[in-house]
Amino acid sequence: MHHSLIILLTIVLLGGCATPTWQSHPAPDEATISRALNGSDQPVAIWDLPPESLPEFPVPQNVRPCCAFGNLQKVKVGPVPLPLFRLGNTVAPDKVGPHRFDGGTFTYTSSGMSGNNNRGSENNGVLYTARGGFIDLAHVRDTADDTVALFFQIFRHLGQDHTIDLPNEIGQRYVRLHAFDVSGLSGQERWHLAAALAARLAYFKAESHEIAQWHGYASFASWPETVSAFSPEDLYSNMLGAKLTLALINAQLVLNDQLYNQSLTVWLDSALAWLGEVDRKTSNALFDVVDGHWWDSSRPIPDKFMVLKRHYQMGDRQLPYLVPESMASGHEAWPRVAALYRKPNTPHTLHLRATHQGLELDSLGELVMKVSDDYAASFSDIPAELWQNGFTHREFGAIASYAAQADAKQLEALSTP
């Protein structure tokens, strides 16, 4: 999960940046205008227009500041605790703000432009859903934005050897596209293939961020982010963002930033409702229920083991963690959450397909991650052949398994009198 207290420490620095915009005025080539003027039986669609006439813009360079897992946490800055301060993380469903591509802390959208009549900032935070567990809205939005940015670049270069640079964390990161024959694909098939590949690679970018945080990456050197690495709700939230934007791309709701922002706002609201969003008081109560099991309210941010439950399962299928009724019913907060358990809550698995139109997506593009000398020591317990010359998303699961082993040993040592 993202930088727990950056909102407090750097809100002024992050607030003044303008968010990128894009417009789409794709021009037809000779073949397309001929179809339009000669009365072709096949109507011209967006994917029939020259890819180079569509927008192209960089992947966002920063992640949104948000929350460490838990609620009303204590905070310390360096060795100094902040007395009487607690960091609230939860958000009410009706207060989820309008989306803004590459939005920061101080983005503002008027109600008339928002898509859901809410105005103001994105108002990111965490809320609980009956079928998706805890959802981190900053993670949803980050991967949604990465998906749309990658899509336009991939669609333009589909079938070519091409590199898309990503922001560095513990070393260089980039998407590597491979050449293959696209001559037999229709424009619509290329559009849907590029969309599926973009969603997949955007999600793997999120996995790379979890690995980077565990190995010491921090946006600010004095504020460690290991507390956020492999947080239990992170990757499910990221995949939710990828899935939503994948749907928007295929529905052609991404051709300019205003259409994309408004559409994602509406679709995010609908997705949270479909997953069974609960009110803020219930989200707060559920954090109380899992205190001491999934997180430890006695430890301040950024103590790594303020988060006790972590999710190390990488890959294109993500299952959420639901708070068990057996845990909730024995807690003093049970009267505040009992209504949630009146009917069975079945976790909803999210999945990003590995093949499309008979093509293995991993053979068409991969996310590459390298380790700079500054972070090499953090990989000392991992076989060198797995990481020393860089690695792709195919190795993320193996890398994460070593993190899981190391964390288990540290937790055991902490619990030993």
- pLDDT tens, the chain, 417 aa long: 544 444 444 443 444 456 778 987 888 999 899 988 987 788 899 999 999 999 999 999 999 988 889 998 888 777 777 776 677 899 999 999 999 999 876 788 898 888 888 899 999 999 999 999 999 999 999 999 999 999 999 999 999 999 999 999 999 999 999 999 999 999 999 999 999 999 999 999 999 999 999 999 998 777 789 999 999 999 999 999 999 999 999 999 999 999 999 999 999 999 999 999 999 999 999 999 999 999 999 999 889 999 999 999 999 999 999 999 999 999 999 999 999 999 999 999 999 999 999 999 999 999 999 999 999 999 999 999 999 999 999 999 999 999 999 999 999 998 887
Instruction: Show the domain range for 151.
Output: 6-19+30-415
pLDDT confidence of residue 100? 95
Is residue 195, in this structure, part of any structural domain at all? Answer: yes
Pair 276, 132: CB distance under 8 Å:
yes
pLDDT confidence of residue 18? 61
Please give the Cα distance from 356 to 189 (Å, whole number). 9
Is residue 402, in this structure, part of any structural domain at all? Answer: yes
Please give the Cα distance from 230 to 213 (Å, whole number). 8
pLDDT confidence of residue 84? 62
Q: Is the peptide bond before 81 cis (omega within 30 degrees of 0)?
A: no
Is residue 318, in this structure, part of any structural domain at all? Answer: yes
Is residue 24, in this structure, part of any structural domain at all? Answer: no
Is residue 1, in this structure, part of any structural domain at all? Answer: no
In the chain, the number of structural domains is 1
pLDDT confidence of residue 15? 40
pLDDT confidence of residue 12? 36
pLDDT confidence of residue 353? 97
pTM: 0.93
Is residue 213, in this structure, part of any structural domain at all? Answer: yes
pLDDT confidence of residue 3? 45
pLDDT confidence of residue 115? 86
Is residue 248, in this structure, part of any structural domain at all? Answer: yes
Is residue 215, in this structure, part of any structural domain at all? Answer: yes
Q: In this structure, what are the phi and psi dihedrals at residue 152, rounded to the nearest 5 degrees?
A: -65, -35
pLDDT confidence of residue 204? 98
